[in-house]
Amino acid sequence: MSRPREPSSTFSRRLRQARQDAGLSQKDLGILAGLDPFVASTRINRYEQDVHAPDQATAKRLAKALGVPMAYLYADNERLARMIRAFSALDVAEQERILMVIEPT
């Protein structure tokens, strides 16, 4: 029996991780993102297996359904991905405080 292949794209890996972190099945995520319930599981599986890539509008709906910024799904650096997710979870005042610290003057 062959092992499932690891997805090669950043998007595929991050999509799967965010879905698992959210405790959603592939079908549930697809439905939350507005996909037809009859194909939702298959479509998400194909995105996670890097067989197909969603268009930008679909990627945006997937990110919204997962509660993550779309940029997180495409961040090719693990530290940056963690920062994007953590930053987006902060309120606006905290985001501004952090920006004042890290942005060059």
Residues 6+ apart with CB under 8 A from 52: 43, 46
Q: What is the predicted pLDDT for the residue at 27?
A: 98
pTM of the model: 0.86
Task: Locate 79 and state its tokens.
Answer: 């530290």
Q: What is the predicted pLDDT for the residue at 104?
A: 84
The segments of the chain whose pLDDT lies below 70 read 1-8
The string of DSSP letters for 20-77 reads HHHT--HHHHHHHTT--TTTHHHHHHHHHTTSS---HHHHHHHHHHHTS-HHHHH--S
Q: What is the predicted pLDDT for the residue at 46?
A: 97
Q: What is the predicted pLDDT for the residue at 71?
A: 97
**Protein fold of 10-102:** 434 Repressor (Amino-terminal Domain) (1.10.260)
Q: What is the predicted pLDDT for the residue at 8?
A: 66
Tokens 């969603």: give the residue: 54
Whether residue 35 contacts residue 71, with contact meaning beta carbons closer than 8 Å, is answered with no
Residues 6+ apart with CB under 8 A from 77: none
Task: Locate 98 and state its tokens.
Answer: 């952090």
Domain ranges of the chain: 10-102
Q: What is the predicted pLDDT for the residue at 7?
A: 55
Radius of gyration of the chain (CA): 15
Q: What is the predicted pLDDT for the residue at 25?
A: 98
Q: What is the predicted pLDDT for the residue at 105?
A: 76
